[in-house]
C-alpha cells in the first residue's frame, strides 16, 4: 500500500508540473508531440489530435515534448520559433504549477486543521524567555534575524543558526500589538539518551542521535521504547513524564524496547550534553483537526487567514529548500541527508504507517502535508540554473533577452543533453545513498 501511495503522489506532482508546460505550450500555439508520465519504455499510450499521451515504465519523472525544443525546425509552431517571452512562460509554467498545487493543498489543509502560527505554547519559570517577557499565546514574527510566518521557521532558524550565548532578537504580537524583546540564552548541562520522539499519546517510536547513548547501546531508528528502569511506558507522553520526574545522571539505565515485534532490553549510559536553552516551546507542526479555536497550538482562521497562512506555508517550504541547498554546498549539511525517490518512498511509508492508525482523515492530513513539501521542493529544484532543468533553460533565455540575440539551438540542446546525462548519474548516486541509508545503516 505504501509503495502505491508513494507512486501516486509522485505521479500527481509530476503530472501537475508537466501540465503547466503543456497548457502554456498550447496557449502559445506550440505543437506538443508527446505528453508523458514516467521515463523509459512506454507501458500505455494513445493519440488524440497531434499529441501522444503516454505512461512509461519508470515512475521517476515525466516530459512534455515540444516540436523544436532541442533542435532547429522550420515549422512556425516549433518551440524555438516562438518569442523568447512565450518560451520563457512555457518553461516557467512547470515549476509555477508546482507552487500553485502546493498553495491549493495548503488552503485545504489549513482550512481543515488550522494555521500553525508561531505561537508560544509554554514558558518555563525563571527561564531566559520569562525574563525577556514572553508569555503563552504570543505570536512570534521575527526570531534571530529570520522573518517568521509559521512555527517551523523558528525550528529551521535554530537548526541552521544554532543558538549560543549571544542574545536573540525577538518580535512578537500580543493582543494585536507588536512588541520587541531580546532573549539571552542560558547554558545548561544535562544527561541525555540521545534520541528524538513525539511526546504525545502515540507509542514512543524513536529516531536515534548518531553517537548518542542509545546509538552506542545498539538501538536503531523506529525502535519503540516500552519501558525504562522497570517502569512500563505505553506512549511518548508517558516516557517524557518519566524522564521529567527522574532526571538522568551518568548512571546506566535499563531501557526496554520493541523491534520487529520482539521486546529487548539494553543497558544505556546517558551522555552529558552542554547546550543553550531559551526556556520556551512553540507550535511547530500541523495538528489534528478539531472544533476548538486552538488545536495543539494551531489556530482557526477565516478565509483571509487561510489564504495568508497558505502563502506563508509556501514561503517556508521555499526557504527551507534554499537554506538546505546553501548548507549542503558549504558542507554544513551531510550529503547523507539528501533523499531521492527510494528514500522518499520510504518516508511516505513511515508517514502513512504512523497516521493510518488514527483513521483516514489523519492519513489525508499527513499525505497532504507531504505533498505540499514535495511539490514545493520540485518547484525550487527545477528552477536551479542547471542544464537540462527548467532553470537552466530559463537562464539561456535571460541571456538571450540581454543579448537581444537567440542562442544556437543545436548547441544549447547539446548543453542540456550533457546536463541530462550528469543528472542521471547523480540520480544513480542518490538512489544508492537511499538504499544504503535504509538497508545498511
Instruction: Please tell me the predicted confidence (pLDDT) of residue 288.
Output: 33
Last residue in a domain, options 284, 310, 334? 284
Note whether 213 and 156 are same-domain residues: no
Q: 289 falls in which pLDDT band (50, 70, 90)?
A: very low
Instruction: Please tell me the predicted confidence (pLDDT) of residue 417.
Output: 76
**Count helices and strands in the chain by DSSP H and E runs:** 11, 19
Q: pLDDT: is 241 or 417 the higher one? A: 241
pLDDT in tens, 112-147: 888 888 888 889 888 999 999 999 889 999 999 889
Note whether 428 and 307 are same-domain residues: yes
Q: What angle (nearest 5°) sits at the alpha carbon of residue 425, between those of residues 423 and 426?
A: 60
Considering just the CA atoms, what is the radius of gyration of the chain in Å?
25
Q: Could you give the CA distance from residue 229 to residue 265 in angstroms, rounded to a whole number?
A: 10
Instruction: Please tell me the predicted confidence (pLDDT) of residue 391.
Output: 92
Q: Could you give the CA distance from residue 205 to residue 89 in angstroms, rounded to a whole number?
A: 46
- Rounded mean pLDDT of 139-157? 90
What CATH number should be reported for the domain holding residue 144? 2.30.42.10
* Enclosing domain of residue 169: 117-185+278-284
Q: Evaluate if residue 186 carries a pLDDT over 80.
A: yes
Instruction: Please tell me the predicted confidence (pLDDT) of residue 295.
Output: 37
Angle between helix 360-382 and helix 341-356 axes, rounded to 10 deg: 160
What percent of the chain lies above the pLDDT cut of 70? 88
| DSSP line for 356-404 | HTT-HHHHHHHHHHHHHHHHHHHHHHHTSS-TTSHHHHHHHHHHHHHHT
Q: Evaluate if residue 336 carries a pLDDT over 60.
A: no
Decide if 205 is inside a domain. yes
The contacts of residue 239 (CB under 8 Å, 6+ apart) are 197, 199, 204, 225, 228, 233
Note whether 349 and 260 are same-domain residues: no
Note whether 100 and 226 are same-domain residues: no
Last residue in a domain, options 271, 293, 310? 271
Instruction: Please tell me the predicted confidence (pLDDT) of residue 307.
Output: 95
State the cell numbers at 323.
Answer: 537554506
Q: Evaluate if residue 50 carries a pLDDT over 80.
A: yes
Choose the weakest-confidence range: 138-152, 223-237, 272-286. 272-286
Antiparallel, parallel or unpaired: β 224-228 and 204-205? antiparallel
Note whether 202 and 252 are same-domain residues: yes
Max mean pLDDT range (69-78, 85-94, 158-167, 325-334): 85-94
The contacts of residue 124 (CB under 8 Å, 6+ apart) are 130, 279, 280
Instruction: Please tell me the predicted confidence (pLDDT) of residue 292.
Output: 30
Q: Evaluate if residue 301 carries a pLDDT over 80.
A: yes
Decide if 6 is inside a domain. yes
Contact 259, 208 (CB under 8 A): no
- Rounded mean pLDDT of 245-263? 92
- Rounded mean pLDDT of 405-427? 74
Decide if 58 is inside a domain. no
State the cell numbers at 112.
Answer: 481543515
Decide if 264 is inside a domain. yes
As for how many domains the chain has, the answer is 3
Last residue in a domain, options 233, 257, 284? 284
Looking at 185-302, list the stretches that DSSP marks H as alpha helix, in order from N- to C-terminal side. 213-216, 236-245
Instruction: Please tell me the predicted confidence (pLDDT) of residue 333.
Output: 57
Choose the weakest-confidence range: 69-83, 279-293, 312-326. 279-293
Note whether 157 and 97 are same-domain residues: no
Q: Evaluate if residue 342 carries a pLDDT over 80.
A: no
Q: How far, in Å, are 69, 73, 85, 259, 385 from residue 410 at the CA level?
A: 10, 10, 20, 57, 19
Note whether 359 and 306 are same-domain residues: yes
Note whether 262 and 321 are same-domain residues: no
List 264's β-bridge partners, or say none: 257
Decide if 139 is inside a domain. yes
Instruction: Please tell me the predicted confidence (pLDDT) of residue 3.
Output: 73
Note whether 418 and 338 are same-domain residues: yes
Q: Evaluate if residue 32 carries a pLDDT over 80.
A: yes
Decide if 51 is inside a domain. no
Decide if 293 is inside a domain. no
The contacts of residue 62 (CB under 8 Å, 6+ apart) are 14, 15, 17, 18, 36, 37, 38, 39
Give CA torsion, residues 321, 326, 332, 336, to 10 deg.
Answer: 50
Q: Evaluate if residue 432 carries a pLDDT over 70.
A: no
Q: Evaluate if residue 287 carries a pLDDT over 50.
A: no
Note whether 103 and 217 are same-domain residues: no
Note whether 357 and 247 are same-domain residues: no
Q: Evaluate if residue 209 carries a pLDDT over 50.
A: yes
Note whether 109 and 170 are same-domain residues: no
Q: How far, in Å, are 191, 221, 223, 400 from residue 256 at the CA level?
A: 19, 14, 10, 65
Looking at 228-340, list the stretches that DSSP marks H as alpha helix, in order from N- to C-terminal side. 236-245, 303-329
Instruction: Please tell me the predicted confidence (pLDDT) of residue 294.
Output: 34
Instruction: Please tell me the predicted confidence (pLDDT) of residue 73.
Output: 81
Decide if 391 is inside a domain. yes
Q: What is the mean pLDDT of the chain?
A: 84
Amino acid at each position: 500500500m505504501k509503495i502505491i501511495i508513494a507512486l501516486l503522489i509522485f505521479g500527481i506532482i509530476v503530472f501537475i508540473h508537466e501540465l503547466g508546460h503543456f497548457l502554456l505550450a498550447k496557449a502559445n500555439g506550440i505543437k506538443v508531440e508527446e505528453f508523458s508520465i514516467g521515463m523509459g519504455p512506454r507501458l500505455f499510450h494513445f493519440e488524440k489530435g497531434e499529441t501522444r499521451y503516454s505512461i512509461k515504465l519508470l515512475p521517476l519523472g515525466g516530459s512534455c515534448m515540444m516540436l523544436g525544443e532541442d533542435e532547429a525546425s522550420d515549422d512556425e509552431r516549433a518551440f524555438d520559433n516562438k518569442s523568447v517571452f512565450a518560451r520563457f512562460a512555457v518553461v516557467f509554467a512547470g515549476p509555477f504549477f508546482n507552487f500553485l498545487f502546493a498553495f491549493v493543498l495548503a488552503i485545504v489543509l489549513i482550512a481543515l486543521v488550522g494555521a500553525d502560527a508561531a505561537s508560544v505554547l509554554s514558558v518555563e519559570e525563571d527561564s531566559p524567555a520569562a525574563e525577556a517577557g514572553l508569555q503563552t499565546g504570543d505570536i512570534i514574527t521575527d526570531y534571530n534575524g529570520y522573518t517568521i510566518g509559521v512555527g517551523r521557521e523558528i525550528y529551521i532558524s535554530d537548526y541552521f543558526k544554532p543558538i549560543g550565548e549571544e542574545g536573540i532578537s525577538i518580535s512578537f504580537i500580543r493582543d494585536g500589538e507588536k512588541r520587541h524583546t531580546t532573549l539571552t540564552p542560558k547554558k545548561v548541562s544535562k544527561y541525555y539518551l540521545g534520541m528524538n520522539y513525539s511526546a504525545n499519546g502515540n507509542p514512543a517510536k524513536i529516531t536515534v542521535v548518531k553517537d548518542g547513548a542509545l546509538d552506542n547501546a545498539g538501538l536503531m531508528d523506529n525502535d519503540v521504547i516500552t519501558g525504562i528502569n522497570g517502569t512500563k511506558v505505553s506512549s511518548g507522553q508517558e516516557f517524557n513524564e518519566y524522564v521529567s520526574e527522574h532526571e538522568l545522571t551518568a548512571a546506566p539505565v535499563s531501557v526496554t524496547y520493541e523491534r520487529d515485534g520482539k521486546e529487548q532490553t539494553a543497558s544505556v549510559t546517558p551522555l552529558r550534553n552542554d547546550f543553550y536553552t531559551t526556556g520556551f516551546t512553540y507550535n511547530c507542526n500541523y495538528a489534528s483537526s478539531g472544533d476548538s479555536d486552538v488545536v495543539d497550538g494551531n489556530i482557526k482562521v477565516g478565509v483571509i487567514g487561510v489564504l495568508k497562512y497558505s502563502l506563508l506555508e509556501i514561503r517556508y517550504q521555499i526557504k527551507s529548500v534554499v537554506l538546505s541547498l546553501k548548507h549542503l554546498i558549504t558542507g554544513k549539511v551531510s550529503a547523507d541527508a539528501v533523499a531521492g525517490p527510494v528514500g522518499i518512498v520510504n518516508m511516505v511509508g513511515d508517514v502513512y504507517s504512523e497516521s493510518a492508525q488514527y483513521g483516514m482523515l489523519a492519513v489525508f492530513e499527513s499525505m497532504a502535508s507531504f505533498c505540499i513539501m514535495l511539490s514545493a521542493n520540485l518547484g525550487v529544484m527545477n528552477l536551479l540554473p542547471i542544464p537540462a532543468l527548467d532553470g537552466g533553460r530559463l537562464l539561456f533565455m535571460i541571456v538571450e533577452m540581454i543579448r537581444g540575440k537567440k542562442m544556437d539551438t543545436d548547441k544549447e540542446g547539446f548543453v542540456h543533453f550533457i546536463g541530462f546525462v550528469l543528472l542521471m548519474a547523480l540520480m544513480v548516486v542518490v538512489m544508492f545513498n537511499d538504499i544504503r541509508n535504509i538497508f545498511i545503516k
